[in-house]
A and B are shown apart, each in its own frame.
Chain A
Amino acid sequence: MNQNQKLIELHDVSVSFDDQKVLDALSLSIRDGEFVTLLGPSGCGKTTTLRIIAGFIEPDEGDVFFGSERINGVPPHKRQVNTIFQRYALFPHYNVFDNVAYGLRVKNVPKAEIHERVHEMLRLVNLEGLEHRKITKLSGGQQQRVAVARAVINRPKVLLLDEPLAALDLKLRKDMQRELKNIQKQLGITFIFVTHDQEEALSMSDTVVVMDGGRIQQVGTPTDIYNEPVNAFVADFIGESNILDGVMPADYKATFAGHTFDCLDAGFTLGEAVDVVIRPEDVDIVAPEQGMLTGVVTSVTFLGVHYEIIVDIRGFKWMIQTTDYCGEGETVGLSIEPDAIHIMKKSEYSGRYGDYSTFSDEMEEINQIPEEAEDD
């Protein structure tokens, strides 16, 4: 089938649970054969989007198209998609063979063909010889493979994966990422993959859909998303970033942190307030007198490949990744190349992210509790 043909389309889909809007007029189209990842923090609506495509949730408003056919109201068992569930949802009363054969048995496929196809599938996921093993006697990774085989054996047009690797340990997760990617290439079917792990999203996908608050923030290739985030939310969620308030005094110039830098962005109105993103690996540490900016190192963490240092510049904590050691309390200079500066328009997310006083929003909240307690 044509690679560029749209296979699934959502048009202005909205869903609410108990008056809480989970998806807000979401539109998305997915091409045939694509590996698409829905990425976002918990509660962003990514799983809901997946469940709408699977048919477990009916949208309150909007249309869902599969090919050229509108599939609103079509029950899950009549859709040409299969799902790999978060905790696999394998049938505990069946063994490996019977779990994988389930879809074919329901469709009354002849016994001999079932036998052949199940074995072919078990070969694909490296579970040969475990046909008669009970599900409860399998490791997490093996259960994962059974889930893959059980879904893929039905030759779906689209495979939906709901955080399928979340329960696995780091190394196994990496192996399974590669394996899933291989299976996708081998079978040439569309994968829609839900995850909150940005690294997983970047390494596996053709297209990443970044979501927050029931809306799509950005759709693009992993490199686009990383290099050209559209707002502070995407910049903060994908990788690490320093996000500063800035203004554009002229085309190809940006002023932030008390210094005017050369940059590659143009087309803003003169003096427009913007968000500036600088990735921690793009900042060079130099001698204080050579730096465009100078600041004091407040913490140093050794991470193996590099040091992660926090530099205080006029009260804003920058995160910088460097292979050169700097001592705590040392004054250092920072040098930033024009192509390391990414300018974004102001958005509702401006000012909420980008300072490294704390790493997580949660920590920030915890740190604020004593102050509030004193107020009482």
Chain B
Amino acid sequence: MTDAKMRGVRERKSRTRKKGVSLLLNFPYLIWLSLFVIVPMFIVAAYAFTDASGAFTLDNFRKLSVYRENIFDSFVYALIATAVTLILAYPFAYFMTKRSAAAQRVMMMLVMLPMWMNLLILTYSIMNIIETNGIVNNLLVAMGMEKVQMINTPGAVVFGMVYNYFPYMVLPLYSVLSKIDPALLEAAADLGSGGPSRFRRVILPLSMPGIISGITMVFVPSVSTFYISQKLGGTSVNMIGDVIESLVNRVSTRNLGAMLSLVLMVVILICIMIMNRFSDEEGGIML
């Protein structure tokens, strides 16, 4: 055999060995993934297309139209919450990249802090603050002003979502913004770009992958939000997540709940695919 051929054989052998090792290392993860992600999805699908007795049916699908409004509302709230989060998080993340390394660490800490606390506790705290007889209203009364109805309004729900998902927007934005080479901004200034032009032509396009990633990470959980909307929105808001929760909790409507989950899942998947297409075109990568 020639040297080149020998090398080829050796390379092929080592490649198969590498493949074997990587499969072995991935094995526990694959088991985990299939047991707790893939199998449950099939179970949801199975429930969606059966009735309470376990017989195949498309009835659940036909009943969906009742919840058209909830789905629509969920998307509207999620869109508003995502937009507000983006508008708040972008300047914050940009401001962060301009601070000293020590200040950046502290700010990152503060952003992450709420993520380490339980959602229930956070939501109850927000309730405490904005209740009819809560902290804010007491303060207003003490200052001689009238009480403001905050809890049980759509605004409170949006506030709750923004508060909860803010870190998921800041992190990817911060990550792309901090990677922009300052020399590029100098180059843009050198070529005649003032502040707004530098932002539009250099900073914004270069931070696109982070924006896409942040939007996805906020929008997806926002659409399927429940609990926050119950506690903060009361009866004023009925999001699809809450509907699913109440359907699944009753045995008689469990299958319908499964169908609704399935539909929501598919819609979200389509959204993510569209988003991914976007970020591919920008040449960026998902976080």
Q: Are B189 and A91 in contact (CB under 8 A)?
A: no
Q: Are B191 and A102 in contact (CB under 8 A)?
A: yes
Which residues of chain A have C-beta atoms less than 8 A from B187's C-beta?
83, 85, 89-91
How large, as a class, is the contact surface on chain A? 20 to 34
In the assembled complex, the CB of B173 is this many whole angstroms from the nearest CB of chain A, namely: 16
Q: Does A56 contact B (CB under 8 A)?
A: yes
Given the complex of chains A and B, what is the CA–CA distance between A89 and B193 in angstroms? 15
Given the complex of chains A and B, what is the CA–CA distance between A90 and B193 in angstroms? 14
Which of A81, A83, A150 counts the most chain B CB atoms within 10 A? A83
Q: Does B221 contact A (CB under 8 A)?
A: no
Q: Are B192 and A107 in contact (CB under 8 A)?
A: yes
Which residues of chain B have C-beta atoms less than 8 A from A323's C-beta?
none
Q: Are A92 and B206 in contact (CB under 8 A)?
A: yes
| Mask of A90-112 contacts with B, CB within 8 angstroms, 1/0 | 11110000000011011100000
Q: Are A77 and B193 in contact (CB under 8 A)?
A: yes
In the assembled complex, the CB of B45 is this many whole angstroms from the nearest CB of chain A, namely: 41
Given the complex of chains A and B, what is the CA–CA distance between A11 and B239 in angstroms? 69
Q: Are B186 and A150 in contact (CB under 8 A)?
A: no
Q: Are A106 and B197 in contact (CB under 8 A)?
A: yes
Given the complex of chains A and B, what is the CA–CA distance between A65 and B181 in angstroms? 30
Which residues of chain A have C-beta atoms less than 8 A from B192's C-beta?
77, 103, 106-107, 154
Which residues of chain B have C-beta atoms less than 8 A from A107's C-beta?
192
Which of A75, A86, A92 counts the most chain B CB atoms within 10 A? A92
Q: Are B283 and A82 in contact (CB under 8 A)?
A: no
Which of A75, A89, A150, A151 counts the most chain B CB atoms within 10 A? A89
Q: Does B267 contact A (CB under 8 A)?
A: no
Q: Does B188 contact A (CB under 8 A)?
A: yes
Which residues of chain A have C-beta atoms less than 8 A from B194's C-beta?
75, 77
* B188: contacting residue among A54, A102, A151, A154, CB under 8 A: A102
Q: Are A76 and B206 in contact (CB under 8 A)?
A: no
* B186: contacting residue among A81, A89, A102, A106, CB under 8 A: A89
Q: Are A75 and B191 in contact (CB under 8 A)?
A: no
Q: Are A85 and B183 in contact (CB under 8 A)?
A: yes
Q: Does B141 contact A (CB under 8 A)?
A: no
How large, as a class, is the contact surface on chain B? 10 to 19
* A76: contacting residue among B181, B183, B186, CB under 8 A: B186
Q: Are A56 and B186 in contact (CB under 8 A)?
A: yes
Q: Does B205 contact A (CB under 8 A)?
A: yes
Q: Are B190 and A82 in contact (CB under 8 A)?
A: yes
Q: Are A89 and B191 in contact (CB under 8 A)?
A: no
Given the complex of chains A and B, what is the CA–CA distance between A154 and B192 in angstroms? 9
Which of A81, A86, A105, A106 counts the most chain B CB atoms within 10 A? A106
Which residues of chain B have C-beta atoms less than 8 A from A154's C-beta?
191-192
Q: Are A106 and B190 in contact (CB under 8 A)?
A: no
In the assembled complex, the CB of B179 is this many whole angstroms from the nearest CB of chain A, namely: 11
Which residues of chain A have C-beta atoms less than 8 A from B183's C-beta?
85-87, 89
Which residues of chain B have C-beta atoms less than 8 A from A56's C-beta?
186, 189
In the assembled complex, the CB of A121 is this many whole angstroms from the nearest CB of chain B, namely: 13
Given the complex of chains A and B, what is the CA–CA distance between A103 and B189 in angstroms? 9
Which residues of chain B have C-beta atoms less than 8 A from A150's C-beta?
191
Q: Are B189 and A75 in contact (CB under 8 A)?
A: yes
Which residues of chain A have C-beta atoms less than 8 A from B206's C-beta?
92-93
Q: Does B201 contact A (CB under 8 A)?
A: yes
In the assembled complex, the CB of B73 is this many whole angstroms from the nearest CB of chain A, namely: 37
* B193: contacting residue among A81, A92, A106, CB under 8 A: A106
Q: Does B282 contact A (CB under 8 A)?
A: yes
Which residues of chain B have C-beta atoms less than 8 A from A77's C-beta?
189-194
Given the complex of chains A and B, what is the CA–CA distance between A226 and B192 in angstroms? 39
Which residues of chain B have C-beta atoms less than 8 A from A93's C-beta?
202, 205-206, 282-283
Given the complex of chains A and B, what is the CA–CA distance between A158 and B192 in angstroms? 14
Q: Are A91 and B186 in contact (CB under 8 A)?
A: no
Q: Does B184 contact A (CB under 8 A)?
A: yes
Which residues of chain B have C-beta atoms less than 8 A from A105's C-beta?
201
B159-190 contacts to A, CB under 8 A, are 181, 183-184, 186-190
Which residues of chain B have C-beta atoms less than 8 A from A75's C-beta?
189, 194
Given the complex of chains A and B, what is the CA–CA distance between A87 and B192 in angstroms? 19
Which residues of chain A have C-beta atoms less than 8 A from B186's C-beta?
54, 56, 76, 83, 85, 89
Given the complex of chains A and B, what is the CA–CA distance between A93 and B189 in angstroms? 17
In the assembled complex, the CB of B240 is this many whole angstroms from the nearest CB of chain A, namely: 37
Q: Are B201 and A102 in contact (CB under 8 A)?
A: yes
In the assembled complex, the CB of B283 is this many whole angstroms from the nearest CB of chain A, namely: 7
Q: List 13 extra interface pairs beyond A89-B184, A106-B193, CB under 8 A.
A: A54-B186, A54-B190, A56-B189, A82-B191, A83-B186, A83-B190, A91-B188, A93-B202, A102-B191, A102-B201, A103-B192, A106-B201, A151-B190
A-B contact pairs, 6 of them (CB 8 A): A75-B194, A77-B189, A87-B183, A92-B206, A93-B283, A102-B191
What 5 pairs between A and B have smallest CB-CB spacing? A89-B183, A89-B187, A103-B191, A76-B189, A106-B192
